[in-house]
Structure 1
Amino acid sequence: MAAFRTDTLVVSGVYQTNQGEYDEDLVFIPLRSARTLFDYSTEATSLDVAVDSGFSIPQVVDGISSRLGDGYIVADRLKQQESSFRMIEIEKWITFLMLLFVLVMASFNILSTMSMLIIEKEDNMRILTSLGASRGMLRRIFLEEGMLIAVMGGIIGVAIGVVLCLLQQHFGLISLGGDPSQMSIDHYPCRLSLTDVLVTSAVVLVIGFFSGMVSSRSLPRLDR
């Protein structure tokens, strides 16, 4: 034991994050004790830098990297917790794919509604055909009808989703379990992203277009 540096410390608190890499191997001790155990005077393995509000973190990272050179690694929070954030990103896209599947299944309601509408309007389509309307014109009518249904539903759904995200982001309606005094945040984190809104809107438009196109292709044969 004489070959090892030892120290006696009093445990003042135990924290659990449910992540093995922290719960099993991480201990916070006073800086003086750490320097004694590692035989450090002024050396350090890492330094934490807090960025004031109003500054861009990527620009700060680039500035520090250019000043320190290639001998140092400058990592923001995303790079420091790369595995955790990658899992969150994967979970996000899996949830998106699941909701996309639900949306595709719901699009069959548009197909059934349009099919019933085509059957009900068959006499009207015969009249329009007698007046000179082409088959392409009739298909375009039902295509636009299907797009209108999808767009209106998409606008309402995206608006409700944006409102709920903003409420959660600013007021924390959904809280996390556990003791709030032992947690840095006590509500489910949420941040509204314009890219996510645009992607969701684009998916709704694409599904609405294909729904209208499929329903418009099912027009019956009309004789003048």
Structure 2
Amino acid sequence: MFKPLSLYIGLRYTRAKQNNYFISFISLTSMLGVALGVAALITVLSVMNGFEKELRTRILGTIAHVTITGHDGTLKNWQELKAKVKADPRIAGIAPFVEGQAMVTHSSRVQGTLIRGIQLDQEDQVDDIRSKIKIGNLDSLRPKSFQIVLGIDLARSLGVFVGDKIIVVTPQATATPAGIIPRIKQVTVSGIFQVGMYEYDSALAIMNIEDAATLFRLQGKISGLRLKLHDLFRAPEIAYELRETLPDNYQTADWAYQHANFFRALKTEKTVMFVILFLIVAVAAFNIVSTLVMVVTDKQADIAILRTLGATPASIMGVFMVQGTIIGLIGTFLGMIGGVALASNVETVVPHIESLFGVQFLPPEIYYISELPSELSWNDVTTICGASFVLCVLVTLYPAWRAARTQPAEALRYV
């Protein structure tokens, strides 16, 4: 069967011979190093994707995809705006809300909090806060009941439980003959929720929208509308379109903008982790250089004979590039198989390792996410494998170039 000369000889050189087991061992370690680096990269980036998805899910279970407010932080005659926005087929649900900063106190403990007033019959259209209730019931937030649901960390900080009374102090002041004093209202804790994000569990409290409007003196007005989209990744685009089509006295914000720093930090961390772990692949790839340099030195006589028989420098280069490329190709393929298999079963493998060694990597009493999530991205797999293979090909150029410069007379002088 016809084979190109460079491919034929390159394939023969990759096989172990009786007198060059050491070179074959170096080739094997290089191959395994590439495989290990690729597998580690795929697994780690999949775990980071899993954490990002978990965090995004938890955040979006509490906030809206898009929020519409007024320039002064309030909306009047909002029913007309709601009807207009609801006609957009890209919007899955709309709910009004009232929001404001306050202090909550119990005994001698004081905590700052963000109080959000919700309308129970519409809130389920925009978030799943109902599923986050650990103790109590969200339906207890009836109008004029002045009951409140606290985040679990906020409840712990105040030392309160369901049924306890707390004092809410708002910045809206009341003028009295004795002077200006802040508005104070006693409310009853009727539930505790846990989102799994410290930002919300330690600083968010939920009330009925009418009670919150009374508390913040917004009778007849609301703070804004919360929108849920069919495609959450189109939130920036839709928020921009709404901002352009609505009158100037309206403002819009999307979840990506509200948490831009957080998700930008995750992306930066993922990029840095990719660079660090790719160094494993780079070290293994440079081992291929050592392997090929030794092979070139060992095959000086063979190269000289091929040159005298008419082989061109390009074909000699091709011989050793084939050998290095095969090492990189096999290593990358093995790493891809191992990485995809491990990334797809992280949630099964890690508990077995924990039970085997009697350890727990992410104790639930310390970490909000106590299990290692994994989200395999084929775009990441393609990028990693492509970069690994290209690097392995590039590192073959120098040894192959050295082989092509071999002078037949010099190489055969001492044979």
- Normalising by the smaller structure, the TM-score range is 0.7 to 0.9
Following TM superposition, by how much is the alpha carbon of 1:114 offset from its aligned partner in structure 2, in angstroms? 0.9
Q: Which has the larger radius of gyration?
A: 2
Greater fraction of residues in helix: 1
C-alpha separation between the residues in 1 aligned to 2:272 and 2:213? 45
Say which of 297, 303, 306 aligns to 1:119.
297
Map of 2:110 onto structure 1: none
Map of 2:408 onto structure 1: 223
Deviations 1:169-208 (A, max 9, x none): xx4654743159x95x542333222322222122112211
Following TM superposition, by how much is the alpha carbon of 1:17 offset from its aligned partner in structure 2, in angstroms? 6.3
| TM-score, normalised relative to structure 2 | 0.45
Map of 2:207 onto structure 1: 30
The answer as to whether partners of 1:162 and 1:192 remain within 8 angstroms in 2 is: yes
| TM-score, normalised relative to structure 1 | 0.77
For this pair of structures, how many residues does the alignment match? 214
Q: Superposition pairs for residues 91-106 of structure 1, below 5 Å?
A: 91-106=269-284
Q: Superposition pairs for residues 72-87 of structure 1, below 5 Å?
A: 72-76=251-255, 78-87=256-265
Q: Superposition pairs for residues 31-46 of structure 1, below 5 Å?
A: 31=208, 32-41=210-219, 43-46=221-224
- The gaps in structure 2 that reach 5 residues or longer are 1-172, 175-180, 352-361, 410-415
SS at match of 1:6: strand
Compared with structure 1, are the counterparts of its residues 61 and 92 closer, same or farther at alpha carbon in structure 2 (3 Å cutoff)? closer
Q: What letter is aligned with 2:383?
A: V
The answer as to whether partners of 1:172 and 1:188 remain within 8 angstroms in 2 is: no
The answer as to whether partners of 1:165 and 1:190 remain within 8 angstroms in 2 is: yes
C-alpha separation between the residues in 2 aligned to 1:98 and 1:16? 32
Single out whichever of 107-116 and 65-74 deviates more from structure 2.
65-74
Map of 1:194 onto structure 2: 378
Q: What letter is aligned with 2:363?
A: G
Map of 1:178 onto structure 2: 364
Map of 1:151 onto structure 2: 329
Compared with structure 1, are the counterparts of its residues 193 and 9 closer, same or farther at alpha carbon in structure 2 (3 Å cutoff)? same
Q: What letter is aligned with 2:406?
A: R
Deviations 1:102-145 (A, max 9, x none): 32222221111111211222222222222211222111111121
SS at match of 1:133: coil
C-alpha separation between the residues in 2 aligned to 1:140 and 1:127? 16
Following TM superposition, by how much is the alpha carbon of 1:93 offset from its aligned partner in structure 2, in angstroms? 0.4
Say which of 283, 286, 298 aligns to 1:108.
286
The answer as to whether partners of 2:305 and 2:408 remain within 8 angstroms in 1 is: no
The answer as to whether partners of 2:325 and 2:392 remain within 8 angstroms in 1 is: yes
The answer as to whether partners of 1:172 and 1:187 remain within 8 angstroms in 2 is: no
SS at match of 2:254: coil
Following TM superposition, by how much is the alpha carbon of 1:89 offset from its aligned partner in structure 2, in angstroms? 0.5
C-alpha separation between the residues in 1 aligned to 2:374 and 2:221? 39
- The gaps in structure 1 that reach 5 residues or longer are none
Following TM superposition, by how much is the alpha carbon of 1:23 offset from its aligned partner in structure 2, in angstroms? 6.5
